[in-house]
């Protein structure tokens, strides 16, 4: 069924815009009039346009993407409706008007149309790989084949909500230190570039030797005053180069290897990746996906190339008959607790339960570690800023004290 983008006026004269599906443009206008809206413009959106929009560079492009929080909310609502006995097509149709994102509305409309045409729900979701992860699609496929779609959707909602909650807590914990770092850097840059040179200009005419701290401050502020534009340009170029290097295979390997080797932070990265892998792998196994297929899926969500390659190698070893814990232990990238829990799960026949438990353990450890780090960062950053500002004040005051002694 065709999908139309419309602009209309309601009874109060307010402009409305959105999408709806209808058999023809005339039927779409009749639908709008039935809702007491008066169409102003109507345009059919083709499947090709919906599946692949032209890529245009815009500063606001990130705000047009479908957010993972929207997918998480849709999954929970869909699980509730399907569990209450709604047919899948009717459930999706009722969710379209409630979706705030215009792009997501369009995607859901085409997914619904694909299901009406006879395709499976998983195949319809596969049309939008940038929105729905391989985990999401494969779990839906497993739910459809086993007749437990409502249970799978409910479990997917739990997974996505837990991931969103963890990400939100981490962001909340890091917001204040990052804000302090940005503001502190701007303040120091302003002091060294504009304030300090105007104050210390009186020292350049003095015939006597200046104290060491003052000489260092004068040189540093002179560098910032003369080449501040070059420093900013260098930082921007460095960020762009690092971004381009990360897109290459060798660059991504080097970046991820460096992250894993960083003291303290590397352990945090491993735990976060293992928690994601464990929860996903456990959910896939619980829904009837085979171990080899599950490993092929989870290798794409690790977030680290080295860990992804370790999972891929483990999948090959498992295919040859080796135990999962032995295959994972061979890479020496995974924490010992994870390997031990997997071994216990394999021996007891409760691998899915153990994977979910280890995911909870590492999620809690990551959150508590980040909270501890941020609680230490705040006073350390304040002390650091105080020390730098104190050095600037001392460097300015030392020559003044010497001048007063000469006058006396």
| pLDDT bracket for residue 237 (50, 70, 90) | very high
Please report the pLDDT score of residue 57 as a whole number: 39
pLDDT tens by residue, 378-395 = 788 888 888 888 888 888
How far apart CA 118 and CA 101 sit, in angstroms, is 26
Most confident of 63-77, 167-181, 356-370, 394-408: 356-370
Please report the pLDDT score of residue 133 as a whole number: 77
Q: Which regions of 78-162 does DSSP assign to beta strands (E)?
A: none
Q: What are phi and psi of 2, to 5 degrees?
A: -65, 155
Q: Are the CB atoms for 328 and 294 separated by under 8 Å?
A: no
Average pLDDT over residues 105-122: 85
Helix, strand and coil content of the chain, in percent to the nearest 5, comes to: 75, 5, 20
Most confident of 147-161, 162-176, 247-261, 296-310: 247-261
What does the angle CA 121 – CA 126 – CA 131 come to, to the nearest 5 degrees?
105
Provide, rounded to the nearest whole percent, the portion of the chain with pLDDT above 70. Answer: 87
pLDDT tens by residue, 35-63 = 777 777 777 764 434 434 434 434 444 44
For 152, how many CA atoms within 13 A lie in the half-sphere containing its CB? 23
Please report the pLDDT score of residue 388 as a whole number: 84
pTM of the model: 0.60
pLDDT tens by residue, 192-221 = 777 777 776 676 666 667 777 878 887 888
The residue with tokens 């890529």 is 55
Would you call 105 exposed, middle or buried from its count of C-beta atoms within 10 A (0-12, 13-18, 19+)? buried
Would you call 275 exposed, middle or buried from its count of C-beta atoms within 10 A (0-12, 13-18, 19+)? buried
């Amino acid at each position: 069924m065709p999908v139309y983008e419309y602009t209309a006026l309601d009874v109060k004269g307010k402009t409305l815009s959105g999408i709806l599906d209808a058999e023809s443009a005339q039927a779409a206008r009749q639908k709008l009039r039935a809702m007491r809206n008066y169409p102003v413009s109507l345009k059919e959106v083709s499947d090709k346009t919906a599946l692949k929009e032209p890529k245009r560079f815009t500063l606001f492009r990130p705000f047009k993407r479908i957010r993972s929080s929207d997918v998480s909310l849709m999954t929970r609502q869909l699980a509730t409706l399907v569990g209450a006995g709604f047919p899948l097509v009717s459930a999706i149709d009722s969710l379209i008007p409630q979706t705030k994102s215009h792009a997501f509305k369009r995607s859901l409309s085409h997914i619904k149309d694909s299901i009406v045409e006879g395709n499976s729900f998983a195949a319809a979701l596969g049309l939008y790989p940038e929105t729905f992860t391989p985990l999401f699609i494969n779990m839906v496929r497993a739910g459809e084949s086993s007749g437990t779609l409502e249970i799978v959707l409910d479990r997917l909602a739990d997974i996505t909500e837990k991931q969103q909650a963890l990400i939100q807590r981490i962001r909340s914990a890091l917001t204040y230190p990052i804000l302090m770092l940005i503001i502190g850097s701007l303040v120091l840059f302003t002091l060294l570039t504009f304030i300090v040179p105007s104050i210390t200009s009186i020292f350049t005419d003095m015939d006597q030797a200046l104290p060491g701290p003052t000489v260092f401050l004068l040189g540093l502020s002179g560098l910032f005053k003369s080449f501040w534009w070059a420093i900013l340009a260098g930082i921007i170029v460095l960020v762009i180069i690092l971004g381009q290097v990360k897109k290459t295979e060798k660059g991504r390997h080097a970046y991820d290897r460096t992250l894993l080797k960083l003291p303290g932070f590397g352990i945090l990265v491993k735990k976060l990746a293992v928690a994601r892998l464990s929860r996903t792998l456990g959910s896939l196994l619980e829904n009837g996906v085979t171990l080899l297929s599950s490993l092929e899926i989870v290798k794409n969500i690790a977030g680290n190339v080295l860990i992804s390659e370790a999972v891929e190698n483990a999948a090959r070893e498992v295919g040859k008959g080796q135990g999962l814990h032995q295959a994972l232990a061979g890479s020496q990238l995974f924490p010992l607790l994870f390997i031990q829990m997997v071994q216990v799960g394999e021996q007891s026949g409760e691998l899915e339960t153990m994977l979910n438990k280890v995911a909870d353990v590492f999620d809690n450890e990551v959150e508590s570690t980040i909270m501890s780090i941020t609680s230490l960062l705040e006073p350390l950053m304040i002390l650091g800023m105080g020390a730098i500002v104190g050095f600037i004040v001392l460097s300015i005051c030392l020559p003044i004290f010497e001048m007063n002694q000469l006058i006396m």
